[in-house]
Structure 1
Amino acid sequence: MSSDEELGEEKGHACHEVSPQTTPEVEMLDAYSRAVIAVVDAVSPAVVSLFTGGNPIHGAAEHQGAGSGVIITPDGYLLTNSHVVGKTKQLRTVFTSRRRAAAALVGRDPDTDLAVLRAEATALPYATLGDSSQLRVGQLVIAMGNPLGFESTVSTGVISALGRAFRSQNGRLIENVIQHTAPLNPGNSGGPLLDSRGRVIGINTAIIAAAQGIGFAIPANTTKWVISHLISHGRVKRSYLGIHARDRKLDRRLARLLSLEQETAAEVMTVDAQGPASKAGLKEGDLIVAIDEKVLAGVDDLQRSLAEHKPGIAVRLMFIRRLELRNAILVPVEAN
């Protein structure tokens, strides 16, 4: 017996392989990893790189990509950002399988920074749009895209705020935006923001360059009605009230006092002094709860109603000011 073995026996130590202990914390991390991996495996084939002009090849040309997109139907319809498309009518897509296809512009909506393209391909893998009205602050999110030409890049974070607003490149205020902490880079624009079940809950649209851990995404419910208009008309026709709004949770006592059933409303944040709302007497802080007697649950409902309403035809808004329900008649104009 060697001296080392004798020493081990004298001290009562047996030679064995050391393995890390499984703790509740480790199990939670393993579950988190499995959830992310499952989403990546399921959705990454539906995430594409977008290029303006030319036929991308391996190498430097791939780093000139315009952005990312996500396929939403097997016959080639895909979502991206309006600012990714710009004024380009024809783009090229590169799938994770390295398959390439031309993509034509179906329509774009700078007001929500969304665009729909159609790739010249069929039988494609596609992602499913989720219900962004069910999102909660602190919820796990997964961002996918092709930043700086590096395909199928994945990052994770949480929803840090809901109902945000920021200005698009054309100066318009984009409302009811998701703020999250999943790291984004140039080229992530147009890629999907996903929940832990792999559903698209938003389309990533912007980052704040001077900040860390702040990204924004257009919510899926806004995306759904924009898609329907872009596919039908090539653009979103809107009636303009002259307000900017955000979702606001109603105080339960106030809702009971006014016999309201909904839990949220559209809170007026700013009022255009020359717009229809200002002429009708609406003010900042008013809570819009109905339009033409149709109950509104928030900004998305208001936008949908206005998208379906012809400019020049009067609408009746019901809103809360302080503890009182009021009505106003407005004549929307067509948005420029």
Structure 2
Amino acid sequence: MADELDAYSQVVTGVARTLLPSVASLAVQGERRGRTGVVGTGSAVVFTGDGFLLTNAHVVGATTRGTAAFADGTEVGYTVIGRDRLSDLAVVRADGETPPPAQLGDADRLTVGQLVVAVGSPLGLSGSVTAGVVSALGRSMPAQSGRTVRIIEDVIQTDAALNPGNSGGALADADARVVGINTAVAGVGLGLAVPINATTNRIVTTLLRDGRVRRAFLGVATAPAPVPPALAERIGRTRGVRIVHVEPNSPADVAGLRQGDLVITVGGQPVDDAQALQRRMFADAIDVPLPITTFRNGAMVDVIARPVELADQA
């Protein structure tokens, strides 16, 4: 047992040693009650060699500037380059030199039960490290955008201790690769992180280029679900995604999609995880008819939805 605990400690300390220099504590500058000053705090992760940091959209909010402090004592100003509230991601650019970037991983390779380490600045305590496991994958969580509640899909659930201020910090695997950006505390022992994968890489690239992400809006929240055995034999797949929420008056609602539907194909392509649906919800899908096949009450149901452009979230 002692050897096992020592090995566990070595992994956590190794991740901390590698990542701590690249994770910043943010002080968000804005106006409150007519005065300019610090209006919020959070964390951010250096992900390029020329001073760009990744954080949460809800950390920077509608502000444009702030300061980033690093473990070596360096403190620089930053400018918000772009934010995407639907993924809860934002990119900021440091106004001076930053430590070397963290290595980004691929959350699609994670498995439930895998060790993960969270690095951030909870409650203003910079350079804090906690460890836990991946508790679940493919979760959905609500995100407030003005008066509208949107759904962030495919988030990582972990029991690594997260607290206010951890938002925007790194969730890393045992090799110190950043696989998620910590985004929320949903309860005791229940933290959530936005995954780093092909979809979020596309979002980040778009934010760097355009400062915003044009998105198609369908109006559903989904969760991974098993395909019934008889249907699995018919379609050759054992996994699909189940609709857990349909936003009233959304394109999905108008098309006839319902809570509880098991989505089989979208646009003629198989859907076996939330990413397969998310990857289609970008600018080229706006106002384009989208065939969707679901399994409902023992029968296949075909509908045609027409996604609309998601209102500007900035």
Kindly provide the amino acid, as one letter, of the partner of residue 281 in structure 1.
Answer: G
Compared with structure 1, are the counterparts of its residues 297 and 127 closer, same or farther at alpha carbon in structure 2 (3 Å cutoff)? farther
User: Which residue type is aligned with residue 176 of structure 1?
Assistant: D
Alignment partner, residue 275 of structure 2: 300
From 18, 22, 26, give the equivalent of 1:42: 18
| Alpha carbons 1:156, 1:182 under 8 Å: kept | yes
Aligned equivalents of 2:207, 2:58: Cα separation in 1:
15
Q: CA 1:106–1:251 in 2, change beyond 3 Å: closer, same or farther? A: farther
- Amino acid corresponding to residue 22 of structure 2 in structure 1: A
**8 Å contact from structure 2 (residues 22, 101) kept in 1:** yes
- Once the two structures are TM-superposed, the CA of residue 323 in structure 1 deviates from its matched residue by 4.5
Q: Determine the structure 1 residue equivalent to 2:101.
A: 126
* Counterpart Cα distance in 2 of 1:290 and 1:26: 50
How many Å apart are 1:64 and its aligned residue?
Answer: 7.7
Give, in angstroms, the shift of residue 65 of structure 1: 6.0
The aligned residue for residue 215 of structure 1 is 191
Which amino acid letter does the alignment assign opposite residue 257 of structure 2?
Answer: L
- State the TM-score, normalized to the length of structure 2: 0.87
C-alpha deviation, 1:276, in angstroms: 1.9
Partner SS for 1:148: helix
Q: State how many pairs are aligned.
A: 300
Give the Cα separation in 2 of the matches to 1:131 and 1:103.
27
SS where residue 113 of structure 2 aligns?
Answer: coil
Instruction: Specify the code of the residue in structure 2 equivalent to 1:272.
Output: E
Separation (CA, whole Å) in 1 of partners of 2:180 and 2:97: 24
Answer yes or no: is the 8 Å Cα contact 2:140–2:221 preserved in 1.
Answer: no
The one-letter code sitting in structure 1 at the alignment partner of 2:259 is E
1:186 is aligned with what amino acid?
A: P
Structure-2 separation of matches of 1:310 and 1:105: 27
Q: Following superposition of structure 1 onto structure 2, how do residues 48-59 of structure 1 map, counting pairs within 5 Å? A: 48-53=24-29
For 2:201 and 2:94, the matched residues in 1 are separated by 19
**Shift of residue 184, structure 1, vs aligned partner:** 1.6
> Are residues 1:74 and 2:39 paired?
no
Equivalent residue letter for 1:238: R
In the aligned structure 2, how far is the partner of 1:240 from the partner of 1:65? Answer: 30
The structure-2 alpha-carbon separation of the partners of 1:115 and 1:323, relative to structure 1 and needing over 3 Å to count, comes to same
User: Structure 1 residue aligned with 2:202, among 204, 219, 225?
Assistant: 225
Displacement of 1:124:
3.6
Offset at 1:204? 0.8
The 8 Å contact of residues 258 and 325 in structure 1, kept in 2 or not, is answered as no
Please give the alpha-carbon distance, in whole angstroms, between the structure 2 residues aligned to 1:226 and 1:191. 18
Q: How does 1:140-151 map to 2 (within 5 A)?
A: 140-151=115-126
Quick check: 1:254 aligned with 2:223?
A: no
Query: Tell me, what secondary structure is at the counterpart of 2:280?
Result: helix
Equivalent residue for 2:221? 244
Structure 1 residue runs without a partner (length 5+):
1-24, 55-62
SS of structure 1 residue aligned to 2:184:
strand
**2:33 aligns to what?**
none
Query: Partner letter of residue 46 of structure 1?
Result: S
Give me the whole-angstrom Cα distance separating, in 2, the residues matched to 1:242 and 1:288.
Answer: 14
Report matched runs for 1:57-68 at 5 Å. Answer: 66-68=41-43
Q: 2 CA distance for matches of 1:124 and 1:253?
A: 54
Displacement of 1:122: 4.8
The answer to whether the Cα contact below 8 Å between 2:57 and 2:83 also exists between their aligned partners in 1 is: yes
C-alpha displacement at 1:167, in angstroms? 2.0
Q: Paired residue for 1:191?
A: 169
Residue number in structure 1 paired with 2:34: none
The answer to whether the 8 Å contact 1:36/1:142 transfers is yes
- Whether the 8 Å CA contact 2:118–2:169 is kept in 1: the answer is yes
Letter in 1 for 2:281: L
Give 1:270 shift.
1.6
Cα offset for 1:251? 4.8
Write out per-residue CA displacement over residues 36-77 of structure 1, whole angstroms, 9 at most, x where no aligned residue.
Answer: 1111111111101111239xxxxxxxx986110011111112
The answer to whether the 8 A contact 2:40-2:59 is kept is no
Please identify which structure carries the higher strand content: 2
Change (3 A) 1:264 1:107: farther
- Is the contact between residue 29 and residue 40 of structure 2 (CA under 8 Å) also seen in structure 1? no
CA shift at 1:136, angstroms?
2.2
Structure-1 separation of matches of 2:113 and 2:141:
21
Give the secondary structure class of the aligned counterpart of 2:104.
coil
**Paired residues of 1:75 and 1:124 also in contact (CA < 8 A):** no
Q: Which residue of 1 aligns with 2:35?
A: none
Q: Deviations over 1:160-206 (max 9, x none)?
A: 22222222243322222222111122211110111111111211111
Q: Is 1:181 the equivalent of 2:159? A: yes
For structure 2, the residue ranges without an aligned partner over 5 or more in a row are 31-37
Query: Identity of counterpart residues, as a percentage?
Result: 40
Whether 1:273 aligns to 2:248 is yes
CA distance 1:142–1:239, shift in 2 (3 Å): same
C-alpha contact 2:76 2:96 (8 A) present in aligned 1: yes
Q: 1:64 to 1:31 in 2, by over 3 A?
A: farther
Partners of 1:212 and 1:298 in 2: CA distance: 27
